[in-house]
Amino acid sequence: MFANRLRKKLLTLGRWARRAGVSCYRLYDADMPEFAVAIDLYQGERREVHVQEYAPPATVDPAAAARRLQAIRTLLPALLEVPPDGVHLKVRARQRGAAQYTRTGERGRPLEVREGECRFLVNLTDYLDTGLFLDHRETRRLIAGLAAGKRFLNLFAYTATATVCAARGGARSTTSVDLSQTYLDWARRNLALNGFGGAEHGLVRADCIAWLEQQARSHHPPYDLIFLDPPSFSNSKRMTGILDVQRDHVGLIRAAAGLLAPAGTLLFSTNLRSFKMDRDALTDLSPEDITRQTIPHDFERNPRIHQCWRIARPPGSPGVGAGSGPRANGCEA
Residue 108 amino acid letter? G
Q: Is the pLDDT of residue 316 over 70?
A: no
Q: What pLDDT does residue 322 have?
A: 46
**pLDDT category, 97, cuts 50, 70, 90?**
very low
- Domains in the chain, ordered, with CATH? 2-93 (3.30.750.80), 112-312 (3.40.50.150)
- How far, in whole angstroms, is CA 170 from its chain's centroid? 21
DSSP state of 94: -
Q: What local confidence, expressed as pLDDT, does residue 267 receive?
A: 98
Which of 63-77, 178-192, 212-226, 318-332 has the least mean pLDDT? 318-332
Across the range 73-99, mean pLDDT stands at 80
pTM summary value: 0.89
pLDDT at 46 over 70: yes
Give the mean pLDDT of 198-223.
93
Per-residue pLDDT at 221: 87
The values of phi and psi at residue 175, to 5°, are: -135, 125
| Stretch (H or E) spanning 52 | strand 47-54
Mean per-residue pLDDT for 4-17? Answer: 95
Q: What is the pLDDT of residue 327?
A: 45
Residue 152 pLDDT > 90, yes or no?
yes
Would you say residue 92 has pLDDT above 90? no
Q: Percentage of residues in the chain with pLDDT exceeding 70?
A: 87
If you average pLDDT over residues 130-148, what whole number do you get?
A: 98
Residue 179 has pLDDT above 80, yes or no: yes
Is residue 175 classed as helix, strand or coil in its secondary structure? strand
Q: Tell me the H-state helices in 271-318.
A: 291-294
Of 53-67, 95-109, 115-129, where does the model show the most confidence? 115-129
The total of other beta-carbon atoms located within 10 Å of residue 18's CB is: 11
Eight-state DSSP code of residue 24: E
